[in-house]
Amino acid sequence: MALGSSLLASAARALGALETCPACLSAPAGEAGVCEPCRAWLEAAVVSSPPPVGTTCWLGPYAGPWERLVTALKHRGARRLGGLLGRLVALRTSGWGPAPDLVTAVPASPRRLDERGFDQAAVLAAEAARALGLAYRPTLARSRLSLSQKRLSRSARAANAEDAFRATGRVRGRALLVDDVLTTGATARACAAALLTAGAQEVRVAVVARTVRGAAAPRGPC
């Protein structure tokens, strides 16, 4: 069993060496799913960001390297990027107010689960929880089928997300809610409302990228 696991790990590393880094689109990707210069740049960008304020934080704008990383994770099967991005979420949220009691995720729709074979937000949340030394709990579920938010207007997103989520049980203490992208915030607000209704004391939201109008795409090291 140990030999088999070692061979699989070696094969994964070899395959990763053949892939192009999705952050810079030029250098070969390393074990983390990006090249080493991009990994160091992403970590430095998170560390140098101003401390989070309020109840929502993100790693960067949904543009440039951050957009490409999310796209690779969600639409190109680059699941291992969830490990890197989840650890960066943990780095960003460490020390952000009172420590949460649990980490949870915005649940993917059944259709997206079928398409991707995994829930990208759950992967991010589980890795962030592991890095923070906290419990990950999938506390939310879709209470009804809803349309994809991608092409909806701001008002339509809010109406579409309303009552679309429910907690699967009682929630106690402070919750950190993780997702990949924040656009209008309608989905995050609906999930936070469901958690608060289920007993959460506080809900904070952390995402990889946030859509910001007019934001310049950050340039990486490569």
* Phi, psi for 40 (deg, rounded to 5): -65, -40
* DSSP letter, residue 173: S
12 pLDDT tier (thresholds 50, 70, 90): very low
Q: pLDDT exceeding 90 applies to what percent of the chain?
A: 72
- Residue of 113, 85, 96 lying closest to 209 (CA atoms): 85
| 147 CB-near residues (< 8 Å, 6+ apart) | 160
Predicted model pTM: 0.84
5-14, 31-40, 57-66: which has the minimum mean pLDDT?
5-14
Distance of CA 199 to the CA centre of its chain: 24
101 pLDDT tier (thresholds 50, 70, 90): very high
Range 33-51 average pLDDT: 97
Please report the sign of the dihedral spanned by the C-alpha atoms of residue 124, residue 130, residue 132, residue 137: positive
Contact status, residue 56 vs residue 97, Cβ threshold 8 Å? no
Range 47-76 average pLDDT: 96
214 pLDDT tier (thresholds 50, 70, 90): low
8-17, 33-42, 211-220: which has the minimum mean pLDDT?
8-17
Contact status, residue 197 vs residue 167, Cβ threshold 8 Å? yes
Amino acid at 176: L
Amino acid at 212: V
Q: How far apart are CA 217 and CA 65, in angstroms?
A: 8
Our separate counts of H helices and E strands in the chain read 8, 6
Between helix 36-47 and helix 64-75 the angle, nearest 10°, is 120
Residue range 147-167, pLDDT digits in tens: 454 554 555 444 445 578 999
pLDDT, residue 151, reads: 52
Residue range 164-176, pLDDT digits in tens: 899 999 999 999 9
215 pLDDT tier (thresholds 50, 70, 90): low
pLDDT, residue 147, reads: 42
Average pLDDT, the chain: 86
Range 102-118 average pLDDT: 92
- Output the furthest CA–CA distance in the chain (Å, rounded): 55
The count of C-alpha atoms lying within 13 angstroms of the C-alpha of 33, restricted to the half-sphere facing its C-beta, is 22
Token reading at 126 = 């589980």
Q: How far apart are CA 181 and CA 32, in angstroms?
A: 20
Contact status, residue 104 vs residue 139, Cβ threshold 8 Å? yes
